[in-house]
Amino acid sequence: MTNQSAGGPPEPRWLSDEEQGVWRAYLHATTLLEDHLDRQLQRDAGMPHVYYGLLVHLSQAPRHRLRMTELAQDAKITRSRLSHAVARLEKNGWVRREECPSDKRGQLAVLTDEGYEMLKRSAPGHVAAVRAAIFDRLAPEQVAQLGDICRTIQAGLQPEGGDLPWTR
Amino acid sequence: MTNQSAGGPPEPRWLSDEEQGVWRAYLHATTLLEDHLDRQLQRDAGMPHVYYGLLVHLSQAPRHRLRMTELAQDAKITRSRLSHAVARLEKNGWVRREECPSDKRGQLAVLTDEGYEMLKRSAPGHVAAVRAAIFDRLAPEQVAQLGDICRTIQAGLQPEGGDLPWTR
DNA sequence: AGTCAATGCTTGAACTTTCAACGAGGCAGG
DNA sequence: CCTGCCTCGTTGAAAGTTCAAGCATTGACT
């Protein structure tokens, strides 16, 4: 009898006590982890976690290069943010820009050899940090559960229909 | 035979394929969600998600007031960040600072009536967004699983021993 | 070819976060 | 009371992010 009354604005469906608890735990866990990894990488690799992720994506791409827009999509960040980030990484000598042969508007972000070396140096420490924070703490079922949960959430937020908001 | 060889540095324990997949899914889900909620709140409440969280914490505190350090701990952010944030929220008229009667160094962050009203206005929309992204998509067992997982991760990252890094 | 909307990426300004340094007050020991 | 150290919270500058606007190219339509 508490929802869906007639007159005014619909009573919002509040979170149950359990849901509130889960939401709080989620927020705390994710902010603590983000923070932790950001610090770890800032210390050991001289860049924030997002930037590191960009290098990782490039290192996994065919010739260590990716169109800007594609990289932005892969990393789930805006093109604007990527532009600034690549500018910074370029100053560090870890990434280089190249013109796209097939589209004169396009740019390719290319992982330099130096960037690749840096990645090889810092990867073990980073993996260890991720492992220590997550995979060494969770039971195998939990890892699988986390995967399913994240994939579900992700799917709900992805504008899968093709109406990409990466134009932002 | 791939780990723990004798000579050089210990071969790092890389992530298995499944672990990599889960980690990727985690990163994507959390960044998309953060992004989504940040935008939702920026649009509907004129502030980022973290700032909204501060108001929520204050609204749940005894007399709508909290010591700065305590608020920072609750929200899992640094005191410096909080200082800047409160300055901004003060400009908006949603928070006010008060001297702490028992400790002259201390400051209390107080939620103003205006801030409380703003919270009441924007809460329904925010809850709806959280619900739409998470609780309406996950099965009840998954919600429980997510809670356990997050609490485990959180516990591993909390400097529970009393060596608080909130001094930062 | 000529037009016009859409795409690819960049830019600068405003805002937020981090980092290191600081001033002020508390607290303990002499 | 004085000294030295710790905690509370703030500050300014540097770094990162967002937002809206902008230029160049492309693609479709005529």
Residue B24 clears pLDDT 50, i.e. is over it? yes
- Residue A94 structural domain: 20-156
A152 Cβ neighbours under 8 A, 6+ residues apart: B137, B138, B142
B69 touches strand D (CB under 7 A): yes
Which nucleotide is at minimal CA–C1' distance from B109?
D9
Residue B165 lies in a domain: no
Structure tokens at A112: 């330099």
- A79-104 in b/e form (b: 16+ CB < 10 A) is eeebeebbeebbeeebbbeeeeeeee
Query: Nearest CA to CA, how far is A94 from chain B (Å)?
Result: 22
Residue B87 lies in a domain: yes
For the stretch A34-42, contacts whose Cβ atoms lie closer than 8 Å and that sit 24 or more positions apart, written own/partner, are A34/B30, A35/B76, A36/A129, A36/A133, A36/B157, A37/A126, A37/A129, A37/A130, A37/A133, A40/A125, A40/A126, A40/A129, A41/A122, A41/A126
**Residue numbers in A near B53 (CB within 8 A):** 27
Residue A51 lies in a domain: yes
* CA distance linking residue A140 with residue A151, whole number of Å: 17
Q: What is the pLDDT along chain A (168 residues), one digit of tens a residue?
A: 455 556 677 777 899 999 999 999 999 999 999 999 999 999 999 999 999 999 999 999 999 999 999 999 999 999 999 999 999 999 999 999 999 999 999 999 999 999 999 999 999 999 999 999 999 999 999 999 999 999 999 999 986 544 445 445
In this structure, what DSSP letter does residue B104 have? T
A142–B145 CB contact, under 8 Å: yes
Tell me: the pLDDT tens digits for B107-165?
999 999 999 999 999 999 999 999 999 999 999 999 999 999 999 999 999 865 444 44
Residue A70 lies in a domain: yes
Residue A5 lies in a domain: no
Whichever domain contains B115, its CATH number is 1.10.10.10
What's the mean pLDDT in B17-41? Answer: 97
CB B41 within 8 A of CB B126: yes
pLDDT for position B105: 95
A168 touches strand C (CB under 7 A): no
Tell me: the pLDDT tens digits for B56-94?
999 999 999 999 999 999 999 999 999 999 999 999 999
B16 touches strand D (CB under 7 A): no
Residue A148 lies in a domain: yes
The CB density around residue A126, as the number of other CB atoms within 10 Å, is: 19
- As for how many domains chain A has, the answer is 1
CB B86 within 8 A of CB B68: yes
Phi, psi of A13 (to 5 degrees): -80, 100
pLDDT for position A164: 46
% residues pLDDT > 90 (chain A): 85
Residue A81 lies in a domain: yes
Which of A38, A78, A153, A160 would best serve as a mutation to test chain B binding (most B beta carbons within 10 A)? A153
CB A39 within 8 A of CB B165: no
Residue A8 lies in a domain: no
